[in-house]
Structures are given as structure tokens and as C-alpha cells.
Amino acid sequence: MAAPGVAVERTFRAPRALVWALLADTNRYDRALGLSIPRYTWRDIDGKRQLVGEAKQGGMVLTWIEEPYQWVEGQFLQGGRRFLSGPAADGGLRIDVSDHEEGCSARVEARGEAKSWALKMLSPLVTGALRRRLRAYVDDVAGMVEDEARVARLYGETGQLPPATRVQELVFEQEGSSLAGSVTPVDPGELARGKQRLQAAPVDADVANHLIRFLSTRPDDEVAQIRAFELARAWDLPRRDVLRGFLHATRAGLVDLNWQINCPVCRVSANVVDSLAEVGRDVHCESCNIRYSVAFGDDVEAVFRCNAALRPVQPSVYCASSPTFRPHVLAQLRVDPGKSRTESIDLGCRHVRVRTLAKHKPGLFDGARPPARLEVRIDDEAVTVESEGHAEDGAATEVVLSSTASDSVYVLLERAGWSADAVLGSVIASMSEFIDLFATEAPAAGLELSISRLTLLFSDLTGSTALYTRIGDARAFAVVQEHFAELGETIAEHGGALVKTMGDAVMATFDSVPDAIRAAIEAVRLTTEHHGDQDVGVKLGIHEGPCLAVRANDRIDFFGTTVNTAARLQARAGASELVLEHDVAAREDVAELLEGLPRREFQADLKGIEGARRLVGFDLSQAKLDRSATPARE
């Protein structure tokens, strides 16, 4: 870092955004250059809250202030470190990428300034070593992005994914380069035992094979914190199948399940814990310097780590400021008081959130097409956004930033409607394998974790009381248990999870109302087919909305008005009937599934819920589930 400046230029036969995403991955860049893993803390320095890094490099302790990096996605990145201790006074990195007739051209410049004249005398040696490392890194990037077949497939199938997310697929396929990182050896005995247990579990064979190879061969960084849905996209396998594989791999001793608590403002991890019982009511995000209430459904993400007995790895961050950790951020730019700046930015999306790293009230652009011009004004209180016209297809937007704030601000333009490949609480709460395999994985006693939206299904047997009298307790009990087994399989087949049974009733969670309805149709068919001659039927209620995840009898359970409503709707149903609230029944995706079925509309009071409700009952005995028309699950 004591070099005055080293620059490497190169032309790439690859899309500009893809090249930028890899070159601007400063976390991977610092690791490839052989830098040590730093420890980051927030400190008050010169009256400001500053991010301070500390690392031991070459026997010396380096301490530096790391100012927020600036970038425009696909164009440039600029970052710097102001050293408080060590041989360097400051250092930094500048990356510029532009279009070229062969693809794109890039310039990567690393700079530094030594504190003493003696170190400056060594500058040519340091410069030569840094240039060689920098050139090798750029060459590795070229080797990765210039595979035309892989890049064409990547850009042809990923839609509006951010470039930083797109390149993950290339990285997952890359071996033996500085971009991939080191691989800690696997314990062969642990691998053999875990593989045998996984292959004996109800896991798709392709998923199991991919998972075993991934844990055996991929670099430490990749297996230290794993996102199942991210791998599903890279492997081109159904998302829930891959998640199911990782849940069973946890029980097989191959991986550990952790919970990452993401900040709703910056969308970066604020904490990682080993158990849901360690998730508190609120958490403090050091980056944003805010404390917020934790929403299990929206903020808590299930992530996996290679089991330490298999490979002892730990998550490591070489550069906390890397844009790779913030793929939703299109641009992060500094604006000084009384100044303005104009950038040409390819927004590429219709919903753009504009905020600052300070606590200004954010602004939002929400339009049918990206605007031709976006004017952003910042004062000491808020961000104001105004748009003009529409950008031509493929054209960038002129973004004008101006500030009357009393201090410099960093302005962020974010993809407001984009979400990462995250297994959020709302997803895992509807996974039957999670409920079955991790029954005791629940919030701490007395703690309620909110889920903003979950679908609840309640069912109950009709005619069961008479059945016990008619055929006796033992035989009737066997019929009920058979019904539960069939219903559990049906719920799982349609993407749901059986949470609990209560007498003759069942409570289940689903990702969506259509999934729950498909399960209800199949439940009625099976019950009629197998137990109809015994005058036994099933009645059902489905509702969707917010609820609470809690610990009950040392298991995860769900409570709230949505849960109560679903149970009360089931109580209003007759044999083979599904009851929904009118607004839910009127939804297009619901009406299409239930079209043509006999229905009855009525109004009723639901016990414990204020006000009469408009309800619709559907006779599912005549429903036919067209499996070929059922959307394939991701």
C-alpha cells in the first residue's frame, strides 16, 4: 500500500456490467492481493462516526479510516483508506469501465502514499510487486468473463438480476484462480458418513450430488455462509428442492443452520446467531446506527455453514465497503454542501428508492419506465425526487444530485422492488422439513417474532364423532391417523408444512393461497376416496395475512388474527367445503382455481373477531386438480 500508483488496463470480450461487477468486488480483490482479514469497528473520530479497520500485515499493525466507497454500477468505483497507523499515509482504488467495440475496456488503478522518505525509496520494489498481482487478478477476471457460452446463458436467463448477483454463477463454476480462494481440506471420514446419511434422506439425487460436491470442493468463503436459493439458481435446480436438501444436510451433520438478521434499511447483515432462540425483539445495525424491531418473516434469513467437523471454516470479510455486499445499490455518490453533480445511470428498473447514509427521509421514484432525467435534492431533513420524461429503450437516465445540507452526504440509488436470493422466515415457515426436522427451533420463551404475510390452512374431519361410536375407538383412531398421514403428504406436496394436529383438526402453513387451495382440493379428493364410505369428510378454511411466530410447548407455533380467522372460517364450512373471506375469493389467482365450482355467499360473525364478514363457501367435492396446469415450483 506504499506505492504511489499502479494502473492496469485491459480490453474484455464481455458485457461491461459483468466486468465491472467482478473488478469492483473489493472483498475478493483484497483477498486475491494477499491482504489480511481486518477487524472493523465504529469509532467517533474528529467529531464524526467513522468506520475503522485494523489488520496485521507483514508484521505491522495497520489501522485506517474507511470512508464510504463511491460507485455507479457498470461504470466506476472509487474507494480509499486514510491510515492512522502503519507505514502508509493513505491508499485507494479506482476502477473505470467503458464500452468498447470488442466488449468493454477497463482501467484499474491502485495508489498509496508512504509516510517516510525511507519507505519512498523502496517504492519501485513495492510498485513492481503490486503491478504483478494486479495484472494477475485482471487476467483471472478475463478468464472468467470471456467464456462466451456461459456468459450468453447467464445473460439470457437471469432477467433483471443485479450484475453482482449474476456473476455469482460464474464464480461458483470457477476453480483454480485467485478469484476462487483457498480450500481447507475435507475430513474424508466425516464426508463419507454425512453423504451416507444424506443419500438415505428424502432428498432429490441431483440436489444431494451437487451439495456434496459443493461442500467438498468449493473455497472456504463460499461454504462458510451459504444461501440455498442462490445455489439453486446457479445449479438450475428447483429452489425448494435445494432448500430441502440443505435442511436434511443439517440433520446429516454436513452443514449448520444459522439465522442472519438483515437490516431493513441497508439490507446488510446486522447479526448472525446459531438459534432462533437467540433472535431478540430488536437489533442494532452498526452501519446505519439504528435499532429496529425484528420481523421474522422479512428480516430473518436462514443461512448455512459447512459443519466444522467436515471443514473448519469461518465467514471472513476482507473489505466491508464492497458493492458486492449491496447488489441492490445502483449508485452510491458523495455530494458536498452547496454542490451538485450529474451522472448518467442505467436505472434499468421502474422502482428506485433514493436515500442517504444519514437519517434523511428517503425519496422514491415509481414509474412505468425509467425517466429521462431524475433530479434529487437533499437538505438537512429529507430527500426530494422529481422525474422528467421517459428514457429511450436501453438509454441511461441523467441523474442530477444537489445538496443544501450542512454537511457532506452519501446518496444511494437502490432497486426498490428487488429482493435477494434469501430464505426468509416467511419462506421457511411453510417448509414441512423445517417444521418436522427442527420442531424445537423456535423463538425464545415469551418472544413473538412477526411475519408480515403467511397463508394458514385449517381442516377438520366431519362425522368423526359418529365414527367412534359406530366402529369403536381403536378402528376410528386408525382412520383419523391415516387421514393425518395423507393430509401431511398432500400439504408437503403443495409446498406447505403441517404445524400441528388438534383432535381431528390440522393447522398448516403455506407460501401462498393458491398452494393452500390446491392442497385443500386434493385433501377433499383423498378423504372422499378413502373414507367416504364411512361417512367421514373434511372441511377447510384458508386465510392469509400477518401473524406471529412463537414458542409453544417447546415447538414453533403461529398466533394472531390471521391464524384465528383461518380457524373460524373452517368452523363455518360444511363437509367437502372450503370457506374463504370474500376479498380473498375474488382474487384473480384464487378465482381461476375455483372457477365453476358450486358456491354459497353468506355473511357471518366469526368468534373472537370483530364485525360481520362476507364469506364464500366452495364445494370442493366436484373440483378436479389439473396437475399439468399447476405452476412448477421454483
Question: Taking residues 107-120, what's their average pLDDT?
Answer: 71
Asked if residue 173 is part of any domain, the answer here is no
Is 426:451 a contact under the CB 8 Å cutoff?
yes
Cell of 62: 495497520
Pair (538, 618) in one structural domain: yes
Pair (294, 342) in one structural domain: no
pLDDT in tens, 58-93: 888 999 999 999 999 999 999 999 999 888 788 889
Strands 88-100 and 255-262: unpaired
In this prediction, residue 117 has a pLDDT band, given cuts at 50, 70 and 90, of very low
C-alpha 504/C-alpha 486 separation (Å) is 13
Q: What is the pLDDT of residue 630?
A: 46
Q: What residues form DSSP beta bridges with 617? A: 579, 600
Segments forming the whole domain that contains residue 113: 6-157
Q: Report the CATH number at residue 135.
A: 3.30.530.20
Pair (408, 458) in one structural domain: no
For 114, the enclosing helix (H) or strand (E) is: strand 103-114
C-alpha 560/C-alpha 352 separation (Å) is 33
Asked if residue 172 is part of any domain, the answer here is no
Among residues 384, 415, 446, the one where a domain terminates is 415
DSSP 8-state symbol, 345: E
* Closest among 578, 574, 572, 583 to 545, alpha carbons compared: 583
Asked if residue 41 is part of any domain, the answer here is yes
Asked if residue 563 is part of any domain, the answer here is yes
Pair (215, 355) in one structural domain: no
Question: Taking residues 312-317, what's their average pLDDT?
Answer: 90
Among residues 323, 345, 376, the one where a domain terminates is 323
Asked if residue 485 is part of any domain, the answer here is yes
Average pLDDT over the chain, rounded to an integer: 88
Pair (187, 148) in one structural domain: no
Q: What residues form DSSP beta bridges with 98? A: 105
Question: Taking residues 224-250, what's their average pLDDT?
Answer: 93
Q: Is the confidence at residue 157, as pLDDT, over 60?
A: no
Asked if residue 535 is part of any domain, the answer here is yes
C-alpha 1/C-alpha 518 separation (Å) is 61
Question: How buried is residue 580: exposed, middle or buried, by Cβ count under 10 Å (0-12/13-18/19+)?
Answer: buried
Q: What is the pLDDT of residue 553?
A: 78
> What type of residue sits at position 296?
F
Q: Is the confidence at residue 219, as pLDDT, over 70?
A: yes
Pair (204, 188) in one structural domain: yes
Pair (113, 74) in one structural domain: yes
pLDDT in tens, 177-198: 667 778 999 999 999 999 999 9
> What type of residue sits at position 451?
I
Number of domains in the chain: 4
Pair (37, 150) in one structural domain: yes
Asked if residue 534 is part of any domain, the answer here is yes
Q: What is the pLDDT of residue 628?
A: 46
Q: Percentage of residues in the chain with pLDDT exceeding 90? A: 58
Residues contacting residue 550 through CB under 8 Å, at least 6 positions apart = 442, 443, 447, 448, 449, 556, 557, 558, 559
Q: Is the confidence at residue 353, as pLDDT, over 60?
A: yes
pLDDT in tens, 357-401: 988 999 998 888 889 999 999 999 999 999 999 988 878 999 999
Pair (150, 186) in one structural domain: no
Q: Is the confidence at residue 247, as pLDDT, over 60?
A: yes
